[in-house]
Amino acid sequence: MGSEGPTGDAAAPLAERLRSQGLRLTAQRQRVLAAVEALEHATPEAIGARLREEAGPDGSAPDSSTVYRNLELLERLGLVWHTHLGKGAPIYHASEHPHLHVVCASCGGIAQVAPDLLDSAAERLAAELGFTVDVGHVALSGTCAACRERARSENP
């Protein structure tokens, strides 16, 4: 994933996609994308907080509406995806590859799994309902192995 963000040559794909839409590559867009990449799975609030931390005393961090607008734009360009992991704000992550999210309801841990894990369910939904699953937005909730083991040891 890399935490260096879209600087130098790495900014070229972002700049190219923006130009193709008649848009400019701004410092704010670069910073929002870099924060998403560095945090891996983060809410818009966490992304804004990181940008405020990075801004330091000069206060050059974007406000929350700017963060949201840039996240929406970056998603339209296919550079980030958002997923709803349950209640609350969506999380954003870089879109280098599609994946499903599995979320532990006990500890809040997030793991990524290959989207083909749901192939048979997606095929069945398509056949029976004509429904197409958007795997980039799928999050499965359950309990991770560590939390199940902890619960077993606490309740023998």
What CATH code is carried by the domain that includes residue 151?
3.30.1490.190
Asked if 9 and 48 sit in the same domain, the reply is: yes
Same domain, 137 and 107: yes
Instruction: For residues 126 and 133, give the distance between their C-alpha atoms in angstroms, rounded to a whole number.
Output: 8
pTM for the full predicted model: 0.70
Per-residue pLDDT of the chain (156 residues; tens, 9 = 90+): 333 444 444 456 777 878 888 888 888 888 998 899 899 888 999 999 999 988 876 667 788 999 999 999 998 888 888 888 777 788 888 877 678 888 898 998 888 888 888 889 989 999 999 999 877 677 888 999 999 999 999 887
Tokens (6 digits) for 111: 């793991």
Range of the domain at 126: 97-156
User: How far, rounded to the nearest angstrom, does the alpha carbon of residue 78 sit from its chain's CA centroid?
Assistant: 12
Helix (H, G, I), strand (E, B) or coil at 42: strand
Here the tokens at position 63 are 């406000």
Residues 115, 85 share a domain: no
